[in-house]
Structure 1
């Protein structure tokens, strides 16, 4: 056939070699190589011959000269420049089907910017305030993204850091509406000596003797969500919790 440089018969699909700008693909001379293959050239007897060669299985399309010089990656792989990898390497994070470089201040990260820096490689979790990398958060910690953050002191297990997010309690406390209440009467807490001791006068319920260990406040007082202190509401009609 006229499209062939050499052939084994007269048909269009009986080519043995193709002259550039055509490329041999399944015994046919094509002007472009199909998806999943790349064009390459070889010289023979002073003639440039063209061939379509298959991409590596990790590439859905590739450029050559290596079958692993990927343009796009097969399902299950992530693109890193012209490479297709299963996991992004250290210093890169997954974004869609690509690996993007971390901020210069990060060795490991989960996204762009210095606020996404992390210390533990995925899928391990970083225990906040320690150098530990763990598969699951320990008791008294809850998972927030890829970090284990500490529960409120009153909780044994929890869903966030507030005293109203407990799932289980220590001995000496009772769980009610996601709050761990001491078994002692109002204004007292169950101490390490296993006796009921007085709370600070600002607390209605507490986990210890200090004013920053309040669980619930007296009327007209509001519990600070972070400091666990009871503060007097500014106005009777003010929009404070617990007022």
Structure 2
């Protein structure tokens, strides 16, 4: 049997209208009400139809002759019209599949179980749990179902049949029930039901206030001295660990490892003047490691190939071809254009003229054959002459011939 009301159509078509959110919110589907429950904890439809009758006329007569509106299927349909939003297909689908359950609640269970959401979604279908509970058996979340996690975090699996029930605290809060201030925060205010945590000075791990002099414990990379946290210079201790060709730079609460100059093998800072030892291709001039000019310092030529010259680079050198030469197949050869063929410099226009000259020769040959009285060759000759005349009389042929005659 399909639910039908004054608008006609099936239940899925009737249950459009305003989405009503109650304590449990609105569920997005029947597979898991993990994100939000599919039906409202309470519907405005119940309140809206509380004092209505079948036609808004003589209610006493209606109750006597047409049965009680308060418990009628007509009222049920009007209530259900406001449960789901028009576009919420999952909500409509859930109600349609739960037709027997909905009627069972409306006609037989409503007085004993006034909370429709809990009766259908939690108790009967076991899709989810009430807010503040979690897991297969809907156990209370950490901190209790009324105020899970002290209101300073969220319960893992809250309102679903999944999760651990443990608290995931909001930033600044800690403890198993999020009832304490976390590292780097202090109690700004507290009463029986609420705790407000504020951030400490950036170097403090624990503190009594926001000032830099109110530290009780320091974060890593700092050391406590008279309630103040002093930065530790890791570079001046054995706490820093950098690779062989890096140097240490102290930062607030930590340090950085940066690469040495390419002139160095090991260094104490940035630049070629802080090298412990000069790299290959460099030489020490006082405190600095300078590049060796291999091209100028070598007694014998370092580039021995034909037409090769030496070019100095940072820390090394390379052999390149002398001016006017290029490297081909591993050898330096003179950079000159390759020899051109007879037709390499012929332009497209000149090619067209040559083609026409060829056609002219062919026409002459055909004319010779046509002069002997052969009708086939005579017809071919006349066609070829007509085609050539059309071409030579065109603007393009004029331009081609003009260009050819003037050498362009």
Greater per-residue strand proportion: 1
Q: TM-score, normalised by structure 2?
A: 0.20
Q: TM-score, normalised by structure 1?
A: 0.30
